[in-house]
Each structure stands twice: as C-alpha cells, then as structure tokens.
Amino acid sequence: MSARLIGLVLVLVAFVAYTVEVVVAQGFGALIASHAVFGWESQVFLDLVLSIVAFNVLAIPDAKKRGIAYTPYLMATVLLGSIGVLA
C-alpha cells in the first residue's frame, strides 16, 4: 500500500470519526438551525475544504488521465461531502 493511499485512508477515518462525533453530540437539527455554532461550524468548514481539495487535486485530474468520467465523484461529493470523495 502506497504512502499516499495510507494518508488518504487515515484522513477518511479521522474525518468520518469526527463527523460521527458531531452528529451524535448535536444531531442534524443543529446543522439546520445554525451551521455556524460549536462543532458544526468546524465540521462544515472541514467538509468543504476537504471536498474541494480532494475533488480538484485528486479526483478530476486522475479521472481525466485514466479516461474515467468524473461525474460519479461529483455525485458522491454532493451526497456525502468529502466522505464520498475520500471513500
């Protein structure tokens, strides 16, 4: 397993754990009520940053290089945030 893949897996595991912690502690209602309060502020910020970076830096160029349509990656990002991209 390459160092790059190990790094991505570690980021995925850490981010999923953090997301689960926030959802369990505050629920989805907190996100709807105000996404800029407590843990949700950090979670949303990290989700957006990871999604943008992972999608643009990893998924699109790699998919183009391999001749793979990147639409599924876009859909996964829309539905699951960066969890979809990292998985």
> Per residue in 15-65, pLDDT tens?
989 988 988 998 877 766 765 666 777 787 788 888 777 777 777 888 889
Closest-CA residue to 83 (of 57, 48, 58, 56)? 48
- In whole angstroms, what is the distance from residue 76 CA to residue 86 CA? 10
Contact (Cβ atoms closer than 8 angstroms) between residue 26 and residue 20: no
Question: What is residue 66's predicted lDDT score, i.e. its pLDDT?
Answer: 93
- The residue whose two tokens read 């850490």 is 14
How many folded domains does the chain comprise?
A: 1
37 Cβ neighbours under 8 A, 6+ residues apart: 30
Are the C-beta atoms of residues 32 and 22 closer than 8 Å to each other? no
Domain that residue 41 falls in: 3-86
Which one-letter DSSP state was computed for residue 57?
I
What is the per-residue pLDDT for 17? Answer: 94
